[in-house]
Amino acid sequence: MQRRLIGWGAVLGMLSVAIGAFGSHILKPVISADYLKVYETGVQYHMFHALALILIGLTAGQWGESNRLRWSGRLIGAGIILFSGSLYVLSISGIKILGAITPLGGVCFIAGWICFALEAFKRKN
């Protein structure tokens, strides 16, 4: 679990940089300033939560594997896909209904952080 979380965190961090560079160099002249801001929000949350996956993986290495840490990683990963992914597609396509998916990703982020916090507070040592 530890290596998988750290590995996925690193891959998703790299993708965040690549997607951010794509937006900055390719999309900037093509999409509106409002949509560029939406895109940048997706990139920012993408990177923060890629780092969170690495943190969860490192924590699993220290504390040992647990269902809460496993679910924390799964939920954070789902949040990146749903939250950031929907913002990327929305900003490029202009399809506003995709904004309805974004809060589901936000809920995944919150639930992932809750699982992580519960693991920390319920630890015996």
Residue 101: CB atoms within 10 A of its CB come to 16
pLDDT at 46: 98
Q: What pTM did the predictor assign?
A: 0.92
Burial class (CB in 10 A: 0-12, 13-18, 19+), 29: exposed
pLDDT, tens only, 7-16 = 999 999 999 9
pLDDT at 54: 98
Q: Are 18 and 42 in contact (CB under 8 A)?
A: no
